[in-house]
Amino acid sequence: ALDGKSTRTLPAGEAALASAVAHILGGQTVAIPTETVYGLAADASNGEAVARIFAAKNRPSFNPLICHVTDIAMAEEFAVFDPLSRALADAFWPGALTLVLPLKAHHHIHPLVTAGLDTVAVRAPQGFGAELIAAAGRPLAAPSANASGRISATTAEAVAESLDSRISLIVDGGPARVGVESTIVKVNDSRIDLLRPGGVPVADIEKVAGFPVSRSGGNAKIEAPGMMQSHYAPLAKVRLNAKTVEEGEALLGFGPERAKGAERAKKVLVLSENGDTIEAAANLFDFLRRLDTCGARTIAVEPIPDEGLGEAINDRLRRAAAPRDIR
Ligand code: TXA
Ligand code: MG
């Protein structure tokens, strides 16, 4: 899977930017670094380009993609901001917050991006992604750059492993700073529904809004259809809240103390020795991937508190641990 003969990796910089712009304007996909996770980007107005994303990811086609913009002004070309959504964008963009907004009556976003919904998920990323959108002069559809249902890639190497020869260009910007995907919210009248916890802690959103975010997800039905039970699945089984380690397991640790029998583990990686959920989030997908390839049948995970980014981390881990039929 690693021959990647047709895949090129370029370090983020001027040559990568020129090549990435050419790919985007030519209707091709490019794997790019953002501060949350790596994204597989394509011109959001070009249906064939967007289809290439689905093909590379093997993604269920009912799953809508996030539209990436430079700022509110670019988002306003196709989406409608209510005052609260605007305040949130003002506070957190560019950054790890995605807003689900109504589409304008006339817009150039291809329906494949929104899976035919009348809403669109929008985010202004930081880093190379932002430079590329500005240079290409158009919004980019970009889901996380991993095969569908697999853990998100936070390094260029992880992108190459997950998507290998199905993409032609990977831009390497080093490890993603945040390490989990963006927080997704939708403003409904004066309520804020949390559709996916992520890189911006809910408490930070509540500080700006001045009232609590609603966690029930409202009618979470297909509102964030990517939120399937067995999303983010490694190949090994995942066992949560492990207080002890069984023979042959790998251990994903958190905090200063190790689970009983940790010396039995095939491999131990600690998300954060001093219990920092930000450091833990940045390590999460990379460590899961490394434990997944160490030959253990099960990854035991020590308890992680729900504070700060812990909520997003535990959400991902519950999905990784959920029963699934495809191995
Ligand atoms: O940090 C991130 O958000 C990364 C980087 C690349 O920006 N992107 C990312 O995209 O995680 P993706 O496609 O893996 O996840 C997008 C999520 C999915 O759960 C999808 O169902 C949801 O956004 N979504 C997209 N459009 C939506 C809409 N109109 N309404 C509700 N949910 C939507
Ligand atoms: Mg994803």
Atom of ligand 1 minimally distant from the CA of 199:
1
Q: Both 187 and 284 in a single domain?
A: no
Give residue-wise pLDDT tens across range 212-224: 999 975 544 444 4
ipTM, 2 dp: 0.98
Q: Both 197 and 251 in a single domain?
A: no
From 54, 93, 98, the mutation candidate for ligand 1 (largest count of ligand atoms within 8 A of CB) is: 98
Q: pLDDT over 90 for what percent of the chain?
A: 69
257 C-alpha vs ligand 2 centroid, how far in Å?
31
77: confidence class by pLDDT, cuts 50, 70, 90: very high
Residues 122 and 104 sit within 8 Å (Cβ to Cβ): no
Q: Both 179 and 288 in a single domain?
A: no
Q: Of the bound ligands, which one is closest to the alpha carbon of residue 154?
A: 1
| Chain mean pLDDT for the chain | 89
- DSSP bridge pairs for 42: 141
- What is the pLDDT averaged over residues 284-293? 88
152 C-alpha vs ligand 2 centroid, how far in Å?
6
E strand spans, the chain = 8-11, 30-32, 39-43, 66-68, 97-102, 119-123, 140-141, 169-172, 183-188, 191-196, 237-239, 250-253, 268-270, 298-301
* Per-residue confidence (pLDDT) for residue 323, from 0 to 100: 78
In a domain, 215, yes or no: no
Euclidean distance between CA atoms 317 and 315, whole angstroms: 5
- Ligand 1 contacts CB of residue 146 (under 6 A): no
Residue 209 annotated as lining a ligand binding site: no
Overall size of the chain counted in residues? 327
Residue 290 annotated as lining a ligand binding site: no
Q: Both 205 and 242 in a single domain?
A: no
Q: Which of 163, 192, 209 is the last residue of a domain?
A: 209
Q: Both 63 and 194 in a single domain?
A: yes
In a domain, 3, yes or no: no
47: confidence class by pLDDT, cuts 50, 70, 90: confident
Atom of ligand 1 minimally distant from the CA of 119:
29
- DSSP letter at 241? S
Give residue-wise pLDDT tens across range 228-274: 444 556 778 999 999 999 999 999 999 999 999 999 999 999 999 99
Q: Both 179 and 243 in a single domain?
A: no
Looking at the 3D structure of the chain, how many domains does it have?
Answer: 2
Which secondary-structure segment (H or E) carries 189?
Answer: none
Q: Both 32 and 146 in a single domain?
A: yes
| Structure-token match 């699934």, residue found | 324
CATH of the domain at 245: 3.40.50.11030
Of 97-101, 111-115, 153-157, 230-234, where does mean pLDDT reach its minimum? 230-234
Residue 196 annotated as lining a ligand binding site: yes
Q: At what angle do helices 128-136 and 14-25 cross, to 10 degrees?
A: 50
- Ligand 1 contacts CB of residue 183 (under 6 A): no
Euclidean distance between CA atoms 215 and 196, whole angstroms: 9
Residue 106 annotated as lining a ligand binding site: no
Q: Both 123 and 202 in a single domain?
A: yes
Could you tell me the residue range of the domain that residue 286 belongs to? 237-321
In a domain, 159, yes or no: yes
Indicate the pTM of the whole model.
Answer: 0.84
Q: Both 205 and 135 in a single domain?
A: yes
Residues 251 and 267 sit within 8 Å (Cβ to Cβ): yes
33: confidence class by pLDDT, cuts 50, 70, 90: very high
Look at residue 131 and tell me whether its pLDDT is greater than 80: yes
CATH of the domain at 40: 3.90.870.10
